[in-house]
Structure formats: C-alpha cells, structure tokens
Amino acid sequence: MNEAKATIINYKKMEQIDTAYQLQPIEQRSYLVNGEIEAWHGQTEDVYSPVYVDDADGLKPYRLGSHPVLNKEAVLKVLDAALNAYDNGRGQWPTMRVKQRIECLSLFARKMKTQRNEVVKLLMWEIGKTLTDSEKEFDRTIEYIIDTIDALKNLDRESSRIQNNGGIYAQIRRGPMGVVLCMGPYNYPLNETFTTLIPALIMGNTVIFKPARYGVLLINPLIEIFKTCFPAGVINIIYGHGAETAGTLMQSGKIDVLAFIGSSRVANILKKNHPKPNRLRCILGLEAKNPAIIMPDADLKLAVAECLTGTLSFNGQRCTALKMIFVHQNISTEFIEMFTKSLNQLKAGLPWEKDVSLTPLPEVGKTDYLNSLIDDALAKGAKIMNNGGGVVEYNFMQPAVLFPVTANMSVYKEEQFGPVIPIVAFNDIEQPIEYIVNSDYGQQVSIFSSNADTVAQMIDPLVNQVCRVNINSQCQRGPDVYPFNGRKDSAEGTLSVSDALRVFSIRTLVAAKNNDGNNKLVTAIIEGRKSNFLNTDFIL
Ligand code: G3H
C-alpha cells in the first residue's frame, strides 16, 4: 500500500477512468487443450498492472486477475494432444489441403477482429502500452495474418507445378515439421507471438503456445476463437512457469520446433533441455543493442526526431530500439541540446490518455535495474543531461540521457531495454564500427548523414556486422514483408511474412523416373485428385 500521491502520472480511482478503458478483474480458470477449454482447479497466479489505481487502501498496482499455473502432468497431457493431432504427419491438419487450412485461418482473422477493443484494453493494462501503439499492435497482427495467407497462396501456386530434370520429374512442396512450441515476448505479447504462431499453424504444424510473462490475460478473449477455428489439438494454450511448462516440454524430446522471443540465457537453457538437439529447429529473437551513428553532416533535426522515437517508443522496450547513440564530437553539444529539448515535450501518463508516450514499466524490479545502470555511469563520469532524468515514481521512470558514456560503464554493453539513453561522442568512425564488431549483438544499426560518400563507406563494413542498416531513420522490424533477423546473440533464423512460412516447414518432394508406367500412374493420381500433396490444383 502506498499513501503517497504520484506527481508525474495522475493516477486515478477506477470510477474516474473513462468507462471505455475501465477493467474488471479476469479470473481465468481454464486453458485450451485438444480442442477443449479445460477447467483448471490447481494453482493460479495473480496478474498486476503496471498502472496504479487509487482505491480504498491508497495507490497500488491494479490487480487485473489471475491465470492457471499448470503442473507437469497437465503440460504432458497438452503435449499428447499436440502429438496426437500431428499423428507423425498423418493427422487431419498436416495432411489437409492448403486451401482448407487457409479457410480456417481466414475465419480466425475475421473472428479475431471482433475482439479488438478487449485485446487493446488488456494490452494497455497489462504492459502499459499506449492506446495508439496497442491499436497498432492489434491491427498489424491482423494485417500479418492476411499477408501470410497471401504469401502462402503464392508459395502454393509456385509448388503446384511438376518439374522435370535429368529424366526425373518431381513435385516439390513445403511440409510441416511437427509440434511447435511458441513463446513470445512481453513487449509485443500479441504481434510478435503471432508472427511465429500463425506461420507455424498454417504450414500444418500443431502448436503449443505459452503466452509471455506479462501480457497473459489478453489472450483470454481469443481462446474460444482458437477453439472453434482449428481442429482439436492443433492449437493448445498453456499457462505457468517456464521450468514446469517449457522445460518439461523440451525435456520430452518431442518438440520439433522452438519459436522463442526473449533472452539468449533462457533460449540456451531451453535448447539444452532437448535430449536430441539435432531434431530441434530453433527460431529465436533475442537481445540487441542497436546503435545510432550520427555523422557531422547529418540533418540534425531529422536525426533527433528519429533517435527520440528510436530510443523511447514504448519506453525503449523494443528489441529494435536504439540503445546506444554515437554522435560526432563536432555536433554532440548541439545534438544533446536538441534531443533533450524534444524529450522534454514527451508526455507521461496513463496509456489511454491523449498524446501520452511515456508510461509505467511492467517488469517487476525494472526501475531498480535501470537505476543501477545510471548509478554506475554517474560514478564513472557520466552526467544526466535532461532535467528530472532518471526520477522514479513507483514503476515509472523519467527517461535519462547519459553523457559522456565510456566503455567501462555497464550501460555501454548491457541491453537496458528501458528509458535510459547512453550517448558517446566520437571523433573517429572506427570507434562506433569497432563497438559493433566487438558487440555480442548484431541486429541493426542506424546511420545519419547526408553525404553519399560517407554513407556508402559506412554501409560496406556494417552490412556484414548487422542484418539491417537504416539510413537516416531509426531501427525497426517493419514492414513485416522485409527480413527480420540478427547475427551473433541477437537471433537465429529469419522471419518475414514469406521467410516465416519457410522456417516452419521443410521442403519435401515426390519424384518419379520419366517413363510410360510412371506417367500413367502419376496422371491418374493428379486427374483423379487422389492426393492432397501430389496435385496441380492452385489457389487463386
Ligand atoms: O521488440 C522487437 C519488435 O519486433 C520490434 O518491432 O521495430 O516494429 O517495434 P518494431
């Protein structure tokens, strides 16, 4: 209980909040297994919002409800359901025609749209994402589903022809891998999870989905829809602690694909849990420490605007966020002045309030961690360059601009994943390039310059260090049709709308020697439409 009042964010009593955004606690007592919404009578866990509410006891984190904490036994039953639905590749779903799987997913997208308000509201309450960004996350997810369907139609059209090479003709299609375990991150608990879950499903795999650590209840409005749109056991949703759930599943050796977005530490533990790592395919989205490099000839106004959204969208809690700014020493004073001035304009508040961009942080203990980074930097010679930077009020932190940051500070290396902005002044381009070369991460970089020669000279060494070089713009994942990946500890596998279809499938072909007997046989199969795989039908 907190008696003190907040001064940065104007927290409210529930009845003072716009009725469109008021929320009554959700006590979730079920999970999805084998096409059934199974009641759970065991342990549960409370869910608290990063948003504080003023009630009779004072200001405290709002209790959003609770969810099941499945035990090992329940998790193993879920695994059985997914294995049975896959049935070693002989199940209804993995052998179904692509057209029918597309119909299931299209129906899902249509029904999902009806839950927009509910999911958006939960995104705001569970992770503190602003209304605009929560709506964007929902809409982008629907768009991703539609684009995935289109990409699969293209892929299917390309695979519907018979090839003839070296006296052997063949039909090559992409087939499913088996049972996929999907685990998403708390910063995009809907969108990023669905960027693996949707392609995994549509390629014919069966899926066990464990929602992120924060952003759990927002899946609740979609459970019934999942149940009605897919055959039993094709999609299963579990809740609980990592070791009991994901750990148990991996130890079984029966997970064929791990799709995980989170830390490399957890990813490595999960991978090591699998007794037959050669059978496991991993699609991982991990840490990043994307730098911005601002050259003396950069358009400073543009660089400031891009670095501001790059460092502080969703309070810096994006894997693609700019987490280090290298600015040339000739312009560093001007840049910092302009940057802090723009930062001062950012409004802090409740996620649904108009024009708010800074909000409370969902992770327990996060402000303590960020403070430890700030203290370490200050002790080693950095200063906080903006008024009020680093001030903490409950679980909200005012962004802190740190300068000059040096290599001996923790914030130079560690991924802060929050509103702390380290700035380094450089005089030799080798310094930021060396930083990237020596970093454990290799996702993206942003370079700011208006000189073609300067930009060209930076592109060539950088493209082999990271996977996306952004010119005069912040780092970002989108548009989702572009490849999203990383080198070193930043990722494993490439995601994009079309690449995701590939990573959740394997090429498999039916081949026959070109002779009269085989020609007759294959023609009879195709003309009689006897096989779901060997056929030349295509979807328009
Ligand atoms: O957290 C990582 C997200 O994939 C970033 O996506 O660049 O669109 O915010 P975004």
In the block, tokens 């370079």 appear at 447
* Three-state SS at 48: strand
Q: How far does Cα 201 stand from its chain's mean position?
A: 17
Pocket flag, ligand 1, residue 140 (CB < 6 Å): no
Output the CA 93–ligand 1 centroid distance in Å.
31
HEC readout, 281-297: EEEEECCCCEEEEECCC
Pocket flag, ligand 1, residue 478 (CB < 6 Å): yes
* Three-state SS at 317: coil
Tokens of 263: 């830390």
pLDDT, position 468: 98
Name the pLDDT band for 5 (thresholds 50, 70, 90). low
Ligand 1 probe mutation, 470, 476, 480, 481, most atoms within 8 A of CB: 476
Give the Cα separation of 107 and 111 in Å (integer). 6
Instruction: Determine the atom of ligand 1 nearest the C-alpha atom of 317.
Output: 1
Pocket flag, ligand 1, residue 187 (CB < 6 Å): yes
**Rounded to 5 degrees, what angle do the CA atoms 492, 494, 499 make?**
145
Pocket flag, ligand 1, residue 318 (CB < 6 Å): yes
Q: In the predicted model, what is the mean pLDDT of residues 331-351? A: 98
HEC readout, 405-442: CCCCCHHHHCCCCCCEEEEEEECCCHHHHHHHHHCCEE
Instruction: Determine the atom of ligand 1 nearest the C-alpha atom of 188.
Output: 1
Output the CA 2–ligand 1 centroid distance in Å.
34
pLDDT, position 147: 98
In the block, tokens 């209304």 appear at 131
Give the Cα separation of 519 and 512 in Å (integer). 9
pTM of the model: 0.96
Ligand 1 probe mutation, 319, 363, 416, 467, most atoms within 8 A of CB: 319
Ligand 1 probe mutation, 192, 289, 318, 475, most atoms within 8 A of CB: 318
Tokens of 375: 């203290």
Give the Cα separation of 55 and 52 in Å (integer). 9
In which element (H, E) is residue 502 found?
helix 497-503
- Tens digits of residue pLDDT in 365-397: 999 999 999 999 999 999 999 999 999 999 999
Q: In the predicted model, what is the mean pLDDT of residues 215-234? A: 98
Instruction: Determine the atom of ligand 1 nearest the C-alpha atom of 313.
Output: 9
Instruction: Determine the atom of ligand 1 nearest the C-alpha atom of 191.
Output: 4
Pocket flag, ligand 1, residue 287 (CB < 6 Å): no
In which element (H, E) is residue 194 found?
helix 191-202
Pocket flag, ligand 1, residue 396 (CB < 6 Å): no
Beta-bridged to residue 328, according to DSSP, are 426
Which protein residue's CA is at the shortest distance from atom 7 of ligand 1? 476
- Tens digits of residue pLDDT in 62-115: 999 999 999 999 999 999 999 999 999 999 999 999 999 999 999 999 999 999
pLDDT, position 249: 98
Output the CA 123–ligand 1 centroid distance in Å.
15
Tokens of 1: 């209980």
Q: How far does Cα 149 stand from its chain's mean position?
A: 20
Output the CA 184–ligand 1 centroid distance in Å.
12
Q: Is the pLDDT of residue 318 over 50?
A: yes
Ligand 1 probe mutation, 188, 444, 468, 482, most atoms within 8 A of CB: 188
- Tens digits of residue pLDDT in 278-313: 999 999 999 999 999 999 999 999 999 999 999 999
Contacts of 233 (CB under 8 A, 6+ apart): 33, 34, 35, 81, 82, 84, 85, 86, 91, 206
Q: In the predicted model, what is the mean pLDDT of residues 462-471? A: 98
Give the Cα separation of 293 and 324 in Å (integer). 9
Q: Is the pLDDT of residue 257 over 70?
A: yes
Output the CA 114–ligand 1 centroid distance in Å.
25
Give the Cα separation of 435 and 432 in Å (integer). 5
Name the pLDDT band for 3 (thresholds 50, 70, 90). very low
Give the Cα separation of 262 and 139 in Å (integer). 23
Pocket flag, ligand 1, residue 477 (CB < 6 Å): yes
Q: How far does Cα 197 stand from its chain's mean position?
A: 11
Ligand 1 probe mutation, 261, 320, 467, 482, most atoms within 8 A of CB: 320
Beta-bridged to residue 183, according to DSSP, are 210, 260
pLDDT, position 293: 98
Q: Which amino acid is at 313?
A: S
Q: What are phi and psi of 324, to 5 degrees?
A: -160, 130
Contacts of 246 (CB under 8 A, 6+ apart): 181, 183, 210, 270
Pocket flag, ligand 1, residue 319 (CB < 6 Å): yes
Pocket flag, ligand 1, residue 121 (CB < 6 Å): no
Name the pLDDT band for 538 (thresholds 50, 70, 90). confident
Percent of the chain with pLDDT over 90: 97
Half-sphere exposure of 182 (CA within 13 A, CB side): 27
Q: 67-98: b or e for each residue (b if 16 or more CB lie within 10 Å)?
A: bbbbbeebbeebbbbbbebbeeeebebbebbb
Pocket flag, ligand 1, residue 490 (CB < 6 Å): no
Q: In the predicted model, what is the mean pLDDT of residues 14-36? A: 97
Q: Is the pLDDT of residue 57 over 90?
A: no
Tokens of 192: 């990023």
pLDDT, position 326: 98
Pocket flag, ligand 1, residue 320 (CB < 6 Å): yes
Pocket flag, ligand 1, residue 476 (CB < 6 Å): yes
φ/ψ bin of 110: left (φ > 0), alpha (ψ from -120 to 50), beta (otherwise): alpha
Output the CA 351–ligand 1 centroid distance in Å.
19
CA dihedral 351, 352, 355, 360 (to 10 degrees): -10
Output the CA 407–ligand 1 centroid distance in Å.
27
Output the CA 477–ligand 1 centroid distance in Å.
5
Give the Cα separation of 385 and 398 in Å (integer). 12
Output the CA 231–ligand 1 centroid distance in Å.
31
pLDDT, position 7: 86
- Tens digits of residue pLDDT in 190-211: 999 999 999 999 999 999 999 9
List the one residue out of 177, 175, 255 whose CA is nearest residue 210.
255
- Tens digits of residue pLDDT in 431-447: 999 999 999 999 999 99
First to last CA, the chain: 60
Exposed (0-12), middle (13-18) or buried (19+): which is 474, by Cβ within 10 Å? buried
Pocket flag, ligand 1, residue 192 (CB < 6 Å): yes
Q: In the predicted model, what is the mean pLDDT of residues 481-510? A: 97
pLDDT, position 1: 38
When the pLDDT of each residue in the chain is averaged and rounded to a whole number, the result is 97
Pocket flag, ligand 1, residue 137 (CB < 6 Å): no
